[in-house]
Amino acid sequence: MVHIFWWVIFPYITLTIMILGLLYRYAFRQLSWAAPSTEIFEKKWLKIGSPLFHWGIIIAFIGHVMGMVIPHDFYLSIGVSDHLYHIGAIAGGGLAGLMVVAGLIILLIRKATIDPVRVHATFADFFTVLMLIFVAGTGTYMTLIYNTTVVAYEYRETIGPWFRSLFTLTPAYGLMTGVPLIFKIHVASAFALFASIPFTKLVHIFSFPVRYPARAPQQYRHRSNYRRQGL
Amino acid sequence: MRIKAQVAMVMHLDKCIGCHTCSVTCKNTWTNRSGTEYMWFNNVETRPGPGYPRRWEDTDRYKGGWKLHNGELKLRAGGPITKLANIFYNPNMAKLDEFYEPWTYDYDNLIHSPKSENLPVARPVSQITGEYIDKPEWGSNWDDDLAGGSEIVPLDPNVEKLQEHIQMEYEKTFMMYLPRICEHCLNPSCVASCPAGALYKRDEDGIVLVDHDACRGWRFCQNGCPYHKVYYNWKTHKAEKCNFCYPRTEAGLPTICSETCVGRIRYIGVVLYDADKVKAAASVEDPQDLYEAQLGCFLDPFDPEIQEKAREHGINDAWLEAAKESPVYKMAMKWKIALPLHPEYRTLPMVWYVPPLSPIMNHITNEDELNTDGYIPAVDQMRIPVEYLASILSAGDTNVIRKVLLKLTAMRVYMRGKTVGGIDEFRQSELVTQAATSPEEIEDMARLLGIAKYNERFVIPTGRREMDDDLYEQQGTCSLEELAPREGVNPAYGYMKVRENL
Ligand code: SF4
Ligand code: SF4
């Protein structure tokens, strides 16, 4: 029962909150949808913290796609041995994790100590940073310390297939029962973080302006017809 | 040819008295909310001086506007890829301190302070943090009327460029006012800098606006605008900028800054331009050619062919008539006495400035004996160095400034002769030839510049609302219109169909 809750019910509830929340906010709260930069108040710490964190998390995201989405067999079929994979994962993941955690800590200190930034930081802002530190911290610990001192855990046989099974609506929660506790905590806290996204500034993840390089530099818009014309 | 109409402004600097009424009425209209305290969509700078934000003209630092790179027009701060790489930290963006930390005063203390030996004071309180500020040290007009003296003036990037040393002694120094709003450029770099595509130029009147629904707070527009006229709202995390008071101009009224301008220095009118020529005009090699290239984008509203084409592009007769009467067309394109601010930024700005005349340095000793041509050398000896004006208004080309000043001087001389007398042979004089003008033109100019009647200063057609919405369908619709398509659910009877059947 406990397993069903944590590895079936909980992920689905959190993902549902995330998706519905995002849709609601996108449809009705566009005005609040922004990357809430405080660069105008403080630049020195931001210059170090923000790129560290953001680039780190982009690398970490790619790493998670490689570990969770791409099946183990695929690696074997293209000739990437488990040993090779783990070396790569520990080096790349460890570096990304350290970047994320270091960046977050800098940003947290900045948020707590620089007056104008602190005054305008909301509960949601602190929650997000602390939650991210927790998730990224456990992740980095797993990658750098657990993997090297206890066992190089083969999550591609358990967490990966379980994660994919969520999206085919056939949750294989049984795969999660034997997973080491620290991994379980990392996964569950990540899902909790997902649920909070629509209520925090994290919504800006979904606005990364990928279309910018392709669009015309100048934008003309007709006053009232632009939506109809699909511009 | 893609004809578009633009509502543009001319400011006649000779008449600006530096009263800041424009700034105050603008602020009370648009930026008196929290998050916007530091924003001045309209501000009036004393020149020479660093301006607001401090040293906004320092393009090496803020990297605003465009530059030419191997003949190609590029954003100075870098194109989309550079921008995306810098999205987590924008090295070129100004901090609030470059504007100033906005403050109010603790007025409450004046009323509620306990009995004490000394008079209670209202201490300054930061509007950002709510903390007391011991000593405000900078504000948007800290150096008003050269109040910063010889310490602040050299911070002006134009002064740095000047060859000669600027005289700071009281009797020899110079001063002028420079009121600034967003230029509503033909080639706006703010628009091109926006990763989210939230900034846009309106088709029908050229006003550059921010779509707050689409703005994601990436803040590249703030320094992407070389005039530093886009501001980041720290509360909503969205960009805000001068919107040319579009709710007023759509109703045919002048912007609030123009309406309330005490010196009556502001003129608003329509000009027609060819949007297809804009890019080429902004890409000419020599920055000093940009002014002429920009003039080449505008179309003659009296040309019947242009009128025909304009109608095809949806510009209606009211706008075409307004374009003929446009004071902007007259001053900037016909008489060529109004110049664009910093054309070298290559944004093709659309707020034009008539440079100010200033007292002549070596006093003309015997004014009665001075003949018309005696005024020619005077133009080069005015207090405001021609080089300074050129650095602001013509990418350093002093000839352009000289021509305008000659014309304005000719106007003064001629009008003086007309009303006071004592001026010889104006029509044949060298001054008229050099200024390339005629008494007829001068009389027109004097009327528009000097008498400046309200309805000659502001020729603004209304917003063509009747053209672009299905008003028939909309009558009686309610506030749910955002949920249901305005034109009804059946596309066969939708907007386009109704339009076709008209
Ligand atoms: S002056 Fe106005 S239109 Fe031109 S770049 Fe700046 S904000 Fe944009
Ligand atoms: S209101 Fe007019 S005269 Fe006064 S500062 Fe503004 S532009 Fe100059």
- Please tell me the distance from the alpha carbon of residue A218 to that of residue B51, in angstroms, as a whole number: 28
| Residue B367's pLDDT band (cuts 50, 70, 90) | low
Degrees, nearest 5: CA angle B25-B206-B72: 120
Per the structure, how many domains does chain B have?
1
DSSP letter for B166, please. P
Say whether pLDDT at B486 is over 70: no
In a domain, B492, yes or no: yes
Which residue from B192, B202, B213 is facing A217, i.e. has the nearest CB?
Answer: B192
Cβ–Cβ gap B468/A225 under 8 Å: yes
Distance from CA of B502 to the nearest CA of A (A): 18
Which residue from B191, B202, B216 is facing A34, i.e. has the nearest CB?
Answer: B216
- Please tell me the distance from the alpha carbon of residue A13 to that of residue B158, in angstroms, as a whole number: 61
Strands B208-210 and B199-202 turn out to be antiparallel
Which residue from B88, B95, B495 is facing A228, i.e. has the nearest CB?
Answer: B495
Cβ–Cβ gap A37/B468 under 8 Å: no
Say whether pLDDT at A136 is over 60: yes
- Please indicate whether residue B356, judged by its CB atom, sits closer than 6 Å to ligand 2: no
| Residue B360's pLDDT band (cuts 50, 70, 90) | confident
DSSP string, A151-214: ----GGGTHHHHHHHHHTT---GGGGTTS-HHHHHHHHHHHHHHHHGGGSGGGGGGG--TTGGG
The closest of B166, B172, B140, B142 to B154, measured between CA atoms, is B166
DSSP letter for B95, please. P
Ligand 2 pocket test target in B22, B40, B267 with most atoms within 8 Å of CB: B22
Report, as an integer, the average pLDDT of B459-470: 75
Mean per-residue pLDDT of chain B: 89
Consult the annotation and say whether A186 binds a ligand. Answer: yes
The closest of B456, B454, B431, B429 to B444, measured between CA atoms, is B456
Here the tokens at position B499 are: 């339009």
Which tens digit of pLDDT belongs to each residue from A171-229? 999 999 989 999 999 999 999 999 999 999 999 999 999 899 999 999 998 876 554 44
For residue B420, how far is the Cα from the chain centroid? 36
> Distance, CA A57 to ligand 2 centroid (Å)?
51
In a domain, B107, yes or no: no
pLDDT (0 to 100) of residue A230: 39
Asked whether the ipTM of the predicted complex exceeds the cut of 0.85, the reply is yes
Cβ–Cβ under 8 Å, residues B142 and B201: no
> Distance, CA A109 to ligand 1 centroid (Å)?
36
Q: With beta carbons under 8 A apart, name residues in chain A contacting B235.
A: 120
In a domain, B402, yes or no: no
In a domain, B494, yes or no: yes
pLDDT (0 to 100) of residue B217: 93
Distances (CA, A) of A93 to A63, A66, A153, B30, B189: 7, 11, 14, 49, 39
- Please indicate whether residue B241, judged by its CB atom, sits closer than 6 Å to ligand 1: yes
In a domain, B495, yes or no: yes
In a domain, B440, yes or no: no
Which tens digit of pLDDT belongs to each residue from B51-76? 999 999 999 999 999 999 998 999 99
Say whether pLDDT at B171 is over 80: no
In a domain, B414, yes or no: no
| Maximum mean pLDDT: which of B130-139, B144-153, B326-335 | B326-335
Consult the annotation and say whether A72 binds a ligand. Answer: no
Cβ–Cβ gap A219/B215 under 8 Å: no
In a domain, B490, yes or no: yes
Domains and CATH numbers, chain A: 2-31+43-206 (1.20.950.20)
Nearest CA in chain A to B193: A217
Which tens digit of pLDDT belongs to each residue from B443-453? 999 999 999 99
pLDDT (0 to 100) of residue B475: 67
Domain residues for the domain of B496 are 469-500
Q: What type of residue is B198?
A: A
Quick one: what percent of chain B has pLDDT higher than 90? 71
Mean per-residue pLDDT of chain A: 92
Cβ–Cβ gap A41/B89 under 8 Å: no
| Residue B476's pLDDT band (cuts 50, 70, 90) | low
| Residue A43's pLDDT band (cuts 50, 70, 90) | very high
